[in-house]
């Protein structure tokens, strides 16, 4: 994994030695700014804490450790929450997201807790089981685990990230779970089904629905004047397209046929370009960039044939890709 914060790209690497080290790279050039031994045995991370720091979680010792992204100095660490009685396993706290100066982490006893990114103190706890957490438009969205098949009905809760207070939930019945994005101050809900789905725009402050369209949408991004989604007819066996929609009404503004198989594994990202944002679609070893106003292809980039893409980070002015060949490498575009 990699994280971008304050112009620095922070990665964990073995380099030429057997033990893991952290390295801070210049975002524009890839030059190494600093490197130091990892704070503890590597678990998951790094993650951008949202305030000029980088957070890690470890398999042993402290569960959360926060470093300064400018020089790699360890700022603080804190012990993990106690395991439930009879648990008997090593728990790794996954850092889901950061909001309002808090790191949102899971708790082995259930639910999530908000930890101050400055001090490591627990500020509030949410006791219900959580499958995923996302921060959009200043709200923390907590999606519970789906029910037992065929009853997958769940409702995503919008939580005040400062206090942990539940503000609203959406929708009351949601087969398949929710995926939320943050296009221009609204939420996008994508319901993924075997042949059909829906795309909705939701007011982030009230949870009220603005519009809903029927579509088989697999991934969504927002760039410039549109909300764009990757769609397929006939459950990935028909025509695949990127569709640009009016953010206010949901009406189709353009549709571009693409060749992606399977479309459910494609990634759609909005990144900054020299003349504005572009929509970048990754499938296999190819990156395709589209004009968000017209849907026309802007450029293509072929990655090496033996590359497996293992992660992305959208940075100011470009895209970072974590790729694996015989050794891992970073490519900045």
Q: Quick one: 7 exposed, middle or buried, by C-beta within 10 A (0-12, 13-18, 19+)?
A: middle
Distance CA 21, CA 250 (A): 47
List Cβ neighbours of 324 (8 Å cut-off, separation of 6 or more): 307, 308, 310
Tell me what the mean pLDDT of segment 291-309 comes to.
Answer: 84
pTM (whole model) above 0.85: no
Question: For residue range 144-179, what is the model confidence (pLDDT) as tens digits?
Answer: 776 655 555 677 889 999 999 999 988 755 555 567
215 shares its domain with 85: no
Domain membership of residue 151 (yes or no) is no
Question: For residue range 73-106, what is the model confidence (pLDDT) as tens digits?
Answer: 888 887 766 666 665 555 555 667 888 889 888 7
- Domain range for 222 is 179-333
- Give me the residue label for tokens 């100066």: 101
CA angle 180, 119, 113 (to 5 degrees): 40
Q: How does the average pLDDT of the chain come out, rounded?
A: 78
**Pick from 127, 143, 169: which residue ends a domain?**
127
301 shares its domain with 186: yes
- Give me the residue label for tokens 């509030």: 124
Domain membership of residue 157 (yes or no) is no
Domain membership of residue 172 (yes or no) is no
What Å distances lie between residue 300 and 136, 282, 297, 315, CA to CA?
30, 10, 8, 19
106 shares its domain with 252: no
**Pick from 127, 158, 188: which residue ends a domain?**
127
**Pick from 105, 127, 149: which residue ends a domain?**
127
List Cβ neighbours of 131 (8 Å cut-off, separation of 6 or more): 143, 144, 145, 146, 154, 177
CATH number at residue 260: 2.40.128.630
Tell me what the mean pLDDT of segment 296-302 comes to.
Answer: 90
Question: Are residues 4 and 320 in contact, defined by beta-carbon separation less than 8 angstroms?
Answer: yes
CB atoms within 10 A of CB 302: 10
CA angle 273, 279, 281 (to 5 degrees): 120
């Amino acid at each position: 994994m990699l994280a971008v914060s304050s112009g620095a790209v922070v990665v964990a690497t073995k380099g030429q030695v057997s033990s893991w080290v952290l390295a801070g790279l210049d975002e524009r050039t890839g030059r190494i700014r600093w490197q130091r031994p990892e704070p503890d045995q590597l678990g998951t991370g790094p993650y951008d804490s949202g305030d000029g720091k980088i957070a890690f979680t470890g398999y042993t010792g402290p569960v959360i450790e926060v470093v300064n992204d400018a020089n790699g100095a360890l700022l603080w660490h804190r012990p993990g929450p106690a395991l439930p009685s009879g648990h008997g396993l090593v728990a790794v706290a996954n850092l889901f997201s950061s909001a309002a100066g808090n790191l949102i982490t899971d708790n082995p006893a259930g639910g999530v807790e908000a930890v101050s990114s400055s001090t490591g103190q627990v500020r509030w706890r949410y006791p219900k089981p959580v499958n995923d957490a996302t921060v959009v438009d200043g709200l923390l969205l907590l999606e519970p685990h789906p029910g037992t098949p065929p009853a997958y009905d769940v409702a995503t809760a919008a939580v005040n990230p400062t206090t942990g207070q539940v503000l609203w939930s959406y929708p009351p019945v949601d087969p398949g779970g929710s995926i939320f994005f943050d296009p221009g101050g609204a939420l996008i809900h994508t319901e993924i089904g075997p042949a059909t789905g829906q795309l909705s725009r939701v007011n982030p402050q009230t949870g009220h629905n603005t519009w809903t369209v029927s579509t088989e949408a697999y991934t969504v991004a927002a760039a410039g004047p549109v909300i764009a989604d990757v769609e397929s007819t006939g459950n990935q066996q028909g025509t695949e397209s990127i569709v640009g929609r009016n953010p206010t009404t949901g009406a189709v503004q353009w549709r571009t046929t693409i060749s992606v198989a399977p479309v459910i594994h494609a990634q759609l990202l909005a990144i900054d370009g020299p003349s504005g944002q572009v929509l970048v679609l990754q499938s296999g070893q190819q990156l395709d960039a589209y004009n968000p106003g017209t849907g026309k292809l802007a450029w293509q980039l072929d990655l090496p044939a033996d590359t497996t893409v293992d992660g992305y980070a959208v940075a100011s002015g470009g895209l970072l890709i974590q790729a694996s060949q015989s050794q891992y490498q970073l490519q900045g575009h």
